[in-house]
Amino acid sequence: MKKQHFWSTVVFIALAAVSGIVAAQPPTSTGTWTFAVSGDSRDCGDFVVPAIATKVKAEKDLFYWHLGDFRKIQKADQDLLSMLPPDTPPPTLEAYQKIAWDDFLTHQMASFGDLPVYIGRGNHEAILPMTRAGYISKFSNFLNRPDLVVQRKIDEAAELAVDANYDGKALFGTQPWFHFIRNGVDFITLDNADYDEFSIGQMRWLRTVLNLDLAPNSGVKSIVVAMHEALPNSTSIDHGMNDWAQGTHTGATVYTWLYDANAAGKHVYIIASHSHFYSPNIFYTYYWFEYYGKTMLPGWIVGTAGAHRYALPSGADKDSETNIYGYVQGTVHADGTIDLALHKLTEDDLIQSKWPNAPLAAIKDCMDNNRN
């Protein structure tokens, strides 16, 4: 018998009630199209992310998705220090923390120009003095993109259809979690940066979104869910949502919801970062085998955007790689299936896209030594 989770028995919105409320979407593409995703750009991301931006713009990817850990926060990142003017003393920790997020915007996000970028919140965005409220304020332009605002209004209308007394600001105001729909694919960003997640509010929001996706005539063929830390019981079990009790419990429930969505006919894909390597098939573990037999959801870890690179865990898939930088490109097909392929960067890629004040020696140090 399958084990049961408390959250799996909670249904917030009846499908019948929302079946007539679906998201307005761009016209469905009849061909393939692509997007790009990776996370963890602390330490050396000011060198790596501009190279990612160059690649994804050349590939004409529809957008780039960053899964968190923009800057280190506990101490100044080595790329930032290397680009200080000559003879400039390193900043104090307090001074660095005041400029860290601005540095991320200036030396990483600015590289993408007009290409849409969606960002997720990582655990380093929760290291004091950084807070969730500060994150929402600082990155409000990213969290309030016009398409996200429109989607919130659609979701809010669906919730109102079944619960006229709900707190709309709590669920559908500006939050680190959000989703958007492109050509029949629902891209969902979750926030598990703090040990109070997944919260009741975020779980209720996600249940609303999934119910809309599962409603008749929703037009959604695929669901891609991304977050910073991997859902529980992955091959990176020692560095994911198993690290705290609420994360273990609610994360397993989210996996169950997504498994059920996949069983209902949606193509479901799960992407995380947090661990600083590339690894596919992260839910091909004994734990999920015991739950569901041979059917496990496809999952990836892509923590390859500049952070100090980790050794691979013993249970990692044979196609996993570390001591690399890069991103994953997703190719979406007309039937809703998605292929995800690793794109690695070379030292020359970093040099070709570097900022004028980025020293070559610092780039080489990031390539050769930013690792366990």
What's the mean pLDDT when you consider all of the chain? 90
Q: What is the pLDDT of residue 26?
A: 43
pLDDT for 211 beyond 80: yes
- pLDDT of residue 16 exceeding 70, the answer is no
* Per-residue pLDDT, 18: 34
- Residues near 122 by Cβ (< 8 Å), separated by ≥ 6? 39, 40, 67, 68, 69, 70, 193, 228, 273, 274
Rg (CA), the chain: 20
Span 247-298, pLDDT tens digits: 999 999 999 999 999 999 999 999 999 999 999 999 999 888 887 776 789 9
Which residues have CB under 8 Å from 124's CB, separation 6+? 42, 68, 69, 70, 71, 72, 73, 130
Q: How remote is the C-alpha of 323 from its chain's centroid?
A: 21
Secondary structure class of 135 (helix, strand, coil): helix
DSSP element (H, E) containing 118: strand 117-119
- The answer to whether 226 and 63 are in contact (CB under 8 A) is no
Enter the pTM of the model: 0.91
- CB–CB of 71/104 below 8 Å? yes
Residue among 298, 293, 167, 323 nearest 226 (CA): 298
Residue 310 carries which DSSP code?
A: P
Using a 10 angstrom Cβ sphere, with 0-12 exposed, 13-18 middle and 19 or more buried, the burial of residue 365 is middle
The pLDDT of residue 307 is 98
Helix (H) or strand (E) holding 346: none
CA distance 295 to 15: 25
Residue linked to tokens 């037009």 = 219
pLDDT in tens, 305-344: 999 999 999 999 999 999 999 999 999 999 999 999 999 9
Q: Grade residue 8 by pLDDT with cuts at 50, 70 and 90.
A: very low
Angle at 219 between CA 118 and CA 288, to 5 degrees: 70
* pLDDT value of residue 67: 98
338: DSSP letter:
E
Work out whether the CA dihedral 331, 106, 143, 234 comes out positive or negative.
positive
**Predicted local distance difference test score (pLDDT) of residue 167:** 65
Q: Residues 169-182: what's their mean pLDDT?
A: 86
Cβ atoms of 212 and 158 within 8 Å: the answer is yes
Q: What is the CATH number of domain 29-369?
A: 3.60.21.10
pLDDT band at 31 (very low <50, low <70, confident <90, very high): confident
Residue 369, judged by CB atoms within 10 A of its CB (0-12, 13-18, 19+), counts as: exposed
Tokens of 152: 């919130």
CA-nearest of 59, 43, 156, 157 to 108 is 43
Question: What does the domain layout of the chain look like in residue ranges?
Answer: 29-369
pLDDT over threshold 50, residue 299: yes
Q: Which two tokens stand for residue 360?
A: 């070559």
∠ CA 186-154-184 to the nearest 5 degrees? 25
Q: How far apart are CA 185 and CA 32, in angstroms?
A: 12
CB 177 within 8 A of CB 199: no
Residues in the chain: 372
